[in-house]
Amino acid sequence: MEPTVTTARAAEIVVIGYEGLRSYLKRGLLGSSGVMAPFVHRDAPAPDFGRIRAKWKRFGIVDLCLMRLAKQLIDLGLSFEQANGIASSEDVRQAFSDRRRLSGAILMTWPPHYDFILFVGDDLQHLPDRLTDVGDIAVIVQLDRIAAHVRTAIERPQ
């Protein structure tokens, strides 16, 4: 079974203050990423998926990796909405979920809209071409390093 951590421990691992993480969660950090959509009766109001993570009390390794990615993207100049959009992507979640695919994986994003591309496995050979296509500015994040940071932090005694 995968280890899980509390919100306070998650804040330490992500390297953000506890209140800062809670604020991000209330703003919709990760949204409904990784959550199976519930069945809703046609006459019942649909749940607010943007706030679903704010109620979670425990987080797994993939959740922590996605939070750490969002934090790094924000630190690199993306807005909360841009970083959250990337970190909430099911493709990015899948990359962190499969440790074999994660080795050497890179996420590239660029202005003005901060679209992103995942380079995994053989796709890495296309990275130089894409870098020349996007122009002068691109943000590159090594996903395996994020995962290594999270796994090391979880194993470290509190």
Write out the chain's pLDDT in tens, 158 residues. Answer: 688 899 999 999 999 999 999 899 888 888 755 444 556 667 777 665 555 555 667 899 999 999 999 999 999 999 999 999 999 999 999 999 988 778 889 999 998 889 999 999 888 899 999 988 887 889 999 999 999 999 999 988 77
What is this structure's pTM? 0.83
The pLDDT score that the predictor gives to residue 84 is 94
User: How far is Cα 17 from Cα 19, in angstroms, rounded to an integer?
Assistant: 6
Joined together, the tokens standing for residue 83 give 């970083």
The pLDDT score that the predictor gives to residue 28 is 85
The distance from CA 44 to its chain's CA centroid, rounded to whole angstroms, is 31
Give the DSSP H or E segment for 92: helix 90-97
Tokens 């660029």: give the residue.
110
- In terms of Cα–Cα distance, which of 7, 108, 113 is closest to 64? 7
